[in-house]
Amino acid sequence: MKSKHTTEIASLGEFGLIDRLTSRLALRSGTTLKGAGDDAAVIDLGDDVLLLTTDMLTEGIDFDLSYFPLKHLGYKAIVRGVNDILAMNARPEHVVVALGVSAKISVEALDELYEGMEHACNELGIDLVGGDTTASMNGLIITVSATGRAKKEDVVYRNGAKEHDLICITSNLGAAYMGLHLLEREKRVLQDVENPEPKFEGHEYLLERYLKPRARTNVLEALREEGIRPTSMIDLSDGLASDLRQICRASECGARIYLERIPIARQTTELAEEMHIDPVIAALNGGEDHELLFTVPLDKQEAVMRLGLVDVIGHITRPESGVILVTPDGEGIALKAQAFDR
Amino acid sequence: MKSKHTTEIASLGEFGLIDRLTSRLALRSGTTLKGAGDDAAVIDLGDDVLLLTTDMLTEGIDFDLSYFPLKHLGYKAIVRGVNDILAMNARPEHVVVALGVSAKISVEALDELYEGMEHACNELGIDLVGGDTTASMNGLIITVSATGRAKKEDVVYRNGAKEHDLICITSNLGAAYMGLHLLEREKRVLQDVENPEPKFEGHEYLLERYLKPRARTNVLEALREEGIRPTSMIDLSDGLASDLRQICRASECGARIYLERIPIARQTTELAEEMHIDPVIAALNGGEDHELLFTVPLDKQEAVMRLGLVDVIGHITRPESGVILVTPDGEGIALKAQAFDR
């Protein structure tokens, strides 16, 4: 590198790096309906569109093989890749997997990884249609690239939220984050113990949420059956605060969400308190929830509540109102990506 | 890992790992025309097909940033990804890029990488439509996933070679391998020198072949214009010996290629001799040529020669004859993947 001036990636802030890298990208093909900047790219096929996305997991950052069973890791890698297709309201169809493998990984370990991938593909009714295996100097690397199909008019982008729309989420938040914290704690506590027996009783739900997140295809199907088309949608991977801000940024709007309406599982709250973590922080900023965050028009309130699969946590506002978390005593706090200030 | 018995990946041999991992993959979707096992997957779109492929490059294995300019690396990553689409006789259309970046990489370095990617996309008339950036504990990782389109009847697989077909290659072989050796030599020689001035004069061609391989879209266009449809095709990435064996394996045939017909550039031969490397080894086993290896029916001999873009190096035989390299004195040597025995 001969650059006289170098900039650390972290200094660019929340959306800085992606914005900077993708802003230069020219779109030449008339078939590209949406390039970078949403959960997946959208490519014109005539009546239908093709969705395309890619997702990389690296050892030591995204997973720790000392406690992450390879079968689960394979399953999770596929679900993560496919979630970006689901978040466009599309049907996932095909995945390809590129692996970087270090010399220390055995064939049996890769068998397990593939078993988990195949299990996920089977559940989702999709095909794993190829891949690439290369050596890696340091640790396992998994890139899952996924395609999907949808009718053009069915695709839901991040940028369609309108004032008064309701903000909805599937399942509950913060559980995966607490599952990860539990795994990290037991690893730390037992690192010098000869036959370690980690204490996971009562926390199975949290572990499963972290190790084996489920794709919410059922929610999308239920919405379709009820004739509810989300106005905007995103995969909840970076945490509610950051992902809601992505929707507001793309849709040029603000949002108000209500703290007491954010669904947090009992198990999440219990472990968070035991570990002196604020469960609200886990829910807002923990990340890796892999639930769907979406908006629906106000007049769909009853219909969406009736599904029993979704919580309404707030509504969309004008852009100048900002992205606000309302506490039970009515105080409004501006939501930031990685933390929130009282 | 609790497996009692573990197998090293290397022990599975040439095609063992991929075979083992992909053999378990079930194809559920009626739209999957070809899953794993060719340069790209083939997905039914009606009249057309969609091609899908993925390719990972890892620092320290596939490239060395101490001498690989990031702009070239970006360019090469795209060309590699796209070559797998070209090798199916399809038109590349879209790519997505997943990056793993270590803390030591600056924003300016990623700018350069993207500049090279964008340059390649512009030359190829394709769109970079998105990606993913994650942290990496150890070095830069680049996964390029590419899509392409073709009419169903135009797709060329690895498995269509027939007895008597002619074996053709584009450009010449072994140059990228010698370019890499030169870069490695200069790095070694100059590692303790304060202001190193590597000696590259006269070797620019070899460096370019390694650092900036070109996609051979022109050859495919010329074949199409002449009405020549290859019967089988593969991207020459692992070396002629291995890639020809892939075609023979998929097509259930043998092959005879003639040593004196294998095109090797003068610059390749000169540097190989200077470095005491057999230029034939460089051409057969060097790899990273990123040329096209394909077969055409015997009656297309004149037409294919007239193009002036292709060398005919041999012909397809019955499977029981094996994959044979014929030396100038008429001796036949069985080609192995990584070396050949006299």
pLDDT over 70 at B142, yes or no: yes
pLDDT at A216: 95
Nearest-CA distance B99 → chain A (Å): 7
| Res. B277: pLDDT tops 60 | yes
Distances (CA, A) of A228 to A89, A160, B73, B318: 11, 14, 46, 61
Is there a contact between A25 and B137 if contact means CB atoms under 8 Å apart? no
The alpha-carbon gap from B298 to the nearest alpha carbon of chain A, in Å, equals: 32
Cβ contacts (< 8 Å) between A38 and chain B: which residues? 130
Average pLDDT over residues B203-225: 97
Q: Is the pLDDT of residue B93 over 80?
A: yes
Query: In this complex, which of B21, B45, B134 lies closest to A110 when CB atoms are compared?
Result: B21
- Considering only CB atoms, which chain A residues are within 8 Å of B54? 54, 96-98, 130-132, 143, 145
Residue B240 clears pLDDT 80, i.e. is over it = yes
**What angle do helix axes A204-211 and A266-274 make, rounded to 10 degrees?**
100
Q: How far is B296 from chain A (nearest CA, A)?
A: 26
Chain B environment of A126 (Cβ under 8 Å) = 28-29
Q: Using alpha carbons only, give the angle A88, A93, A98 rounded to the nearest 5 degrees.
A: 100
**What's the mean per-residue pLDDT of chain B?**
92
Structure tokens at B283: 């051409």
**Residue pLDDT tens, chain A, 342 long:** 344 577 877 777 656 777 788 887 888 888 999 999 899 999 999 989 999 999 999 999 999 999 999 999 999 999 999 999 999 999 999 999 999 999 889 999 999 999 999 999 999 999 999 989 999 997 999 999 999 999 999 999 999 999 999 999 999 999 999 999 999 999 998 888 888 888 899 999 999 999 999 999 999 999 999 999 999 999 999 999 999 999 999 999 999 999 999 999 999 999 999 999 999 999 999 999 999 999 999 999 999 999 999 999 999 999 999 999 999 999 999 997 554 333
Please name which of A181, A177, A310 lies closest in space to residue A241, comparing C-alpha atoms: A177
* Chain B residues touching residue A138 (CB < 8 angstroms): 60, 137-139
pLDDT, position A196? 80
Burial class (CB in 10 A: 0-12, 13-18, 19+), A293: buried
Query: Which tens digits make up the pLDDT trace of B164-178?
Result: 999 999 999 999 999
pLDDT for the residue A164: 98
Give the pLDDT of residue B245.
Answer: 96
Q: What is the pLDDT of residue B26?
A: 87
Least confident range from A41-45, B191-195, B267-271: namely B191-195
pLDDT-based confidence at residue B103 (cuts at 50, 70, 90): confident
Comparing CB atoms, the residue among B8, B61, B103 nearest residue A106 is B8
What residues in A contact B126, CB-CB < 8 Å?
28-29
Q: Is the pLDDT of residue B339 over 50?
A: no
Inter-chain residue contact B57 with A6, CB threshold 8 Å: no
- Best to test chain A binding among B97, B117, B132 (most A CBs inside 10 Å): B132
Chain B residue with Cα closest to A93: B29
Q: Is the pLDDT of residue B2 over 50?
A: no
Write the CATH number of the domain with boundaries A31-153: 3.30.1330.10
Mutate: best of A122, A132, A142, partner B, most B CBs <10 A: A132
Interface contact A93-B43, CB threshold 8 A: yes
B6–A130 C-beta distance less than 8 A: no
Q: Count Cα neighbours of B227 within 13 Å in the Cβ-side half-sphere.
A: 3
- When CB atoms are compared, the residue of B17, B131, B134 closest to A36 is B131
- The domain segmentation of chain B, as residue ranges, is 12-22+30-154, 158-334
Using a CB-CB distance cutoff of 8 angstroms, which residues of chain B are in contact with residue A1?
Answer: 106, 108-109
Specify the pLDDT at position A13: 66
Using pLDDT thresholds of 50, 70 and 90, give the confidence band for residue B342.
very low
**Distance, CA of B335 to CA of B342 (rounded, Å):** 10
Q: Nearest-CA residue of chain A relative to B147?
A: A52
Query: What CATH class does A158-334 carry?
Result: alpha beta
| Contact indicator for B58, B98 with CB cutoff of 8 Å | no
Q: What does the pLDDT read at residue B338?
A: 54
Q: Cβ distance A259 to A328 under 8 Å?
A: yes
The answer to whether the Cβ–Cβ distance between A141 and B100 falls below 8 Å is: yes
Nearest to B7 among A22, A107, A139 (CB): A107
Gap from A91 CA to chain B (nearest CA, Å)? 12
Give the pLDDT band of residue B13 (cuts 50, 70, 90): low
pLDDT for A283 equals: 97
Q: Which of A17, A96, A125 has its CB closest to that of B107?
A: A17
Between B27 and B267, where is the model more confident? B267
- pTM here is 0.94
Interface contact flag, B45 A43, Cβ < 8 Å: no
- Kindly indicate the confidence band of residue B197, based on its pLDDT and cuts at 50, 70 and 90: confident
Residue A129 and residue B32: Cβ atoms within 8 Å? yes
Rounded mean pLDDT, B312-321: 98
Q: What is the pLDDT of residue B258?
A: 98
Does the B12-22+30-154 domain belong in CATH 3.40.225.10? Answer: no
pLDDT-derived band at B316 (thresholds 50, 70, 90) equals very high
Q: Do the strands A91-101 and A127-135 form a parallel or antiparallel pair, or are they unpaired?
A: parallel
Contact (CB<8Å) A141/B56: yes
Judged by CB atoms closer than 8 Å, whether chains meet at A52 and B18 is answered as no
The answer to whether the CB atoms of A145 and B9 lie below 8 A apart is no
